[in-house]
Amino acid sequence: MTDFSVQTLSFTAEDRSWLLSEFEDAYAFSGTIDVSKFTAATHFPNGYIPSGTVLGAVTSGGLLGPYDDTAVDGRQTAVGILLSAVRVWTNPWGGTPLAKVGVAYVAPFIVVSQARLPFNSGNAASGRGYIDANGITDLKLTYFAA
């Protein structure tokens, strides 16, 4: 049977306005995100985790999750910033989030607009993945501009 129902397909436009310096591939790292560490309604309501999300690494296994200074699983140490938005749904119309997603993230030798990161201390209560004073200390070679 043919399905003629209306369906909506969501896309995301890349917003790297948080990245103030020229990007060099030499400073990108690859990793794998553990999607279960993110909150769907906060971090990917449209199916994409946005670039600029601050990441921490889970000690057991090394998977990445949102940086959270209060975590006790390793994510309390910021390791980098997500370079490009990543789709986490199994299909374009939603459904079940993927378990793991390969990503690129950046950490050293970049200049970042702290105010333009997608998550900041103003919405910290609703989710993690924002930068704070301890995260800035963790990312020693990253310059955070206002």
119-133 pLDDT tens trace: 865 555 555 778 888
Q: Is the pLDDT of residue 52 over 80?
A: yes
Give the chain's largest Cα–Cα span: 59
In a domain, 108, yes or no: yes
Give me the domain span that covers residue 47. Answer: 27-145
Q: Is 0.75 surpassed by the pTM of this model?
A: yes
**How sure is the predictor about 24, in pLDDT bands with cuts at 50, 70 and 90?**
low
Return the number of other C-beta atoms located less than 10 Å from residue 19's C-beta.
19
In a domain, 7, yes or no: no
Q: Which residues of 95-108 are buried (b: 16+ CB within 10 A; e: fewer)?
A: eebeeebebebbbe
Q: What is the number of domains present in the chain? A: 1
The rounded distance, in Å, linking the Cα atoms of 21 and 19 is 6
In a domain, 5, yes or no: no
pLDDT at 16: 87
In a domain, 36, yes or no: yes
Mean pLDDT within 50-65: 93
In a domain, 21, yes or no: no
C-alpha count within 13 angstroms, C-beta hemisphere, residue 11: 2
Residue 19: strand pairing partners? 112
**How sure is the predictor about 31, in pLDDT bands with cuts at 50, 70 and 90?**
very high
pLDDT at 51: 92
Burial grade of 53 (CB within 10 A; 0-12, 13-18, 19 or more): buried
In a domain, 6, yes or no: no
Q: Is the pLDDT of residue 4 over 90?
A: no
**How sure is the predictor about 42, in pLDDT bands with cuts at 50, 70 and 90?**
confident
Phi and psi at 40, nearest 5°, equal -55, -50
71-114 pLDDT tens trace: 899 999 999 999 999 988 776 666 778 889 999 999 888 899 98
In a domain, 104, yes or no: yes
pLDDT at 8: 59
Q: Across all residues in the chain, what is the average pLDDT?
A: 83
Provide the CATH number for the domain around residue 58. Answer: 2.40.300.10
In a domain, 3, yes or no: no
Assess contact for 71 and 129: CB atoms under 8 A: no
